[in-house]
Amino acid sequence: MNWRAPQIVVRASQPDCTAEANRLAQLTGLPVEEFSESQESVADGNSSPWTLLVKPLELSLIRPDGLSVEIDFIRGKGIQRSREANFHSQPLARALSVKKFRQRTGQTPSIIDATAGFGTDGWMMASLGCKVQLLEASPVLAAMLMQALDNARNTAAAAASDSTLGERNGCNPAHNISVINTDSVQYLNNHGNAGADIIYLDPMYPQTRSKALVKKGMQLLHELIGPDNNGAKLLNSALNKASYRVVVKRPKGAPPLADTTQFTRQNFTGHSFTEHNFTGNISTVHSANTRFDIYHIDRA
């Protein structure tokens, strides 16, 4: 529990990227390190800062020991999954229940992914044809998401491979995604018209496996973000603002995100949670390592 946020500096990888590095430093509130040819090697030791390295059309987040992560929607895990033949019947798609929503309303559900992270799940939701708003509290991740989306929007290949990138009409999922750097609890609570048919939550969960077994992206994410302690608040805000369902991703065997007996109308206690249309009905979809808890909203 003695997590400390790493220090991060923004650095241009080449002189051409200096203006973009300065822009990102302003956007994220991080210090910028002037470009110099001698900065090629990566610093070591725990006290050295991490680097947000600004390359042409790419941002790399680099730990002092050189371990790095990028967000790349075009070559990433999300796109691989969305190309799988059974994509529409995979657990995420079943948990969102896009097909049933369409049958009922004739429309595709709008989604707020209130814990965007690397945007992998968000990309998959957009690949199902949904409009997805990514909310991410970390300014660094939000900047990386925005850059990756710009790249995906501009990549001709993305639009060309019609049957795989988008569900219908060869649409590029990147055009269905927007990003806001914000705290989702604040955003959902304070914006009267903030809301969506589905709100998706995948908060950080304490690492249970040894570091060696955890993929490098997740390792860096845990060190960058630290533990999330706002699960109950997130769920409460989401239940207030979703009109169809709230879907919560949990590791297999993990407890539910919060004790929802406090949330139902029948048991509503009034002090810390506001009233909403949550029916009290929760169903689950299981996959190998993950569980999706689905909180059904009363649409009456």
Ligand X SMILES: C[S@@+](CC[C@H](N)C(=O)[O-])C[C@H]1O[C@@H](n2cnc3c(N)ncnc32)[C@H](O)[C@@H]1O
Binding region for ligand X (CB under 6 A): 114-115, 117-121, 135-138, 141, 183-185, 202-204, 221, 225, 228, 230, 234
C-beta of 59: minimal distance to ligand X in Å? 15
C-beta of 19: minimal distance to ligand X in Å? 27
The residue at minimum Cβ distance from ligand X is 117
* Residues 125 and 119 sit within 8 Å (Cβ to Cβ): no
13 or 120: whose CB is closer to ligand X?
Answer: 120
173 or 203: whose CB is closer to ligand X?
Answer: 203
**What region does 163 belong to: left with phi over 0, alpha with psi -120 to 50, or beta?**
alpha
21 or 92: whose CB is closer to ligand X?
Answer: 92
119 or 173: whose CB is closer to ligand X?
Answer: 119
C-beta of 202: minimal distance to ligand X in Å? 4
C-beta of 27: minimal distance to ligand X in Å? 16
Can you give the chain as a three-state secondary structure string?
CCCCCCCEEEEECCHHHHHHHHHHHHHHCCCEECCCHHHCCCCCCCCCCEEEEEECCEEEEECCCCCEECCCCCCCHHHHHHCCCCHHHCHHHHHHCHHHHHHHHCCCCEEEECCCCCCHHHHHHHHCCCEEEEEECCHHHHHHHHHHHHHHHHCHHHHHCHHHHCCCCCCCHHHHEEEEECCHHHHHHHCCCCCEEEEEECCCCCCCCCHHHCCHHHHHHHHHHCCCCCHHHHHHHHHHHEEEEEEEEEECCCCCCCCHHHCCCCCCCCCCCCCCCEEEEEEEEECCCEEEEEEEECCC
17 or 24: whose CB is closer to ligand X?
Answer: 24
C-beta of 217: minimal distance to ligand X in Å? 8
76 or 166: whose CB is closer to ligand X?
Answer: 76
12 or 98: whose CB is closer to ligand X?
Answer: 98
C-beta of 222: minimal distance to ligand X in Å? 9
C-beta of 34: minimal distance to ligand X in Å? 29
